[in-house]
Amino acid sequence: MRKIIHCDCDCFYAAVEMRDNPALTDIPIAIGGSVEQRGVVATCNYPARKFGIHSAMPMAQALKRCPHLTVIRGDMAKYKAVARQVFAIYRDVTELIEPLSLDEAFLDVSEVTLHHGSATRMAEAIRHRVKQEVGITVSAGVAPNKFLAKIASDWRKPDGLFVITPDDIDAFVQQLPVKKIHGVGPRTAEKLAELGIQTGADLRARPLTELVERFGRFGHRLHELSHGRDERPVKTHRERKSISTEQTYSQDLPTLEACRRQLPELIGDLERRYARLDPAPAVRGVMVKVKFNDFTQTTVEHADPAPNLEQFETLLNVGWARGERPVRLLGVGYRLAEETAAQQLSLF
């Protein structure tokens, strides 16, 4: 059985800003774009979260909830430098690291002999070093697999450590709310609730055939997770599956024709991003994302190995028809072929 540590820096961007300016520590702050540019919250500190502010919330809405919110435009160069310090500490423990973002990673310490092979003590040592050497806090979860380790790291946030031993798995998963399972969004949680499924125990009581019938392939995944099973290894290399670009507009695009006029610029940016991939995987499909002025959004995809402007316009027509109202954001992207050789995931 594996020993997995999931490390997650607490409110990372905000934590770095509070470290560099202690006067920000006890007041609500949010990192993100300005209201004038229709920015969103990238992250916020815990005093801000008490007002119901969260990541991806429009900054204008965040300021309505907390008028005295301090908004800070992010400094990505600084955050990347801090992330490099944190990951250097992880590498002192193991080279088997799967980065999920600048501030989050899985570590496989199954074969590590440090601290007499105790994953719990390794996690404690990592958290102590990050706090002392970097000046921010990390929450960690320790468990026999990635699914449980990720849940555990969130269990005692912020600045917490939670351990799920092999003997704990069955009891822990049975009482686990299904909304805590990665991939169960609000809509899936509603469907599960309609079936009387609120916990892992409820989920486990349902036949696999019923879950697959109602939720497709995800139904099989839910069945496995309800028993605490997750065989995914920590991957130090990951394959890029898509590439995309999007733009939030300072003024809503009022018509379908106004949206169409934005496509060439978006596609040009997408092609430049694609050209920078080395090696560049084959394109297997295209996608268009539309977010309307009421913040509802939709994504339309189509398999096409040779995309062109006409193909993007067709997808835009379908996306627009699902809302038929002014648009605040447009995005375009490529789905990439999966049979290419795996590429190393760049942290930065």
> Active-site residues: which are they?
104
Structure tokens at 39: 């920015």
CB 223 within 8 A of CB 11: no
What DSSP element (H or E) covers 100? strand 97-101
CA distance 285 to 302: 6
CB 131 within 8 A of CB 124: no
Using alpha carbons only, how large is the chain's radius of gyration in Å? 22
Q: Cα 207 from chain centroid?
A: 30
Q: Which residues of 230-258 are buried (b: 16+ CB within 10 A; e: fewer)?
A: beeebbbeebeeebbbeeebeeebeeeee
Structure tokens at 223: 């069945």
Q: What is the largest CA-CA distance in the chain?
A: 65
Sign of CA dihedral 101, 102, 103, 109: positive
Please state, as a whole number, how many other Cβ atoms lie within 10 Å of the Cβ of residue 334.
Answer: 24
What is the distance between the terminal CA atoms of the chain, rounded to a whole angstrom? 31
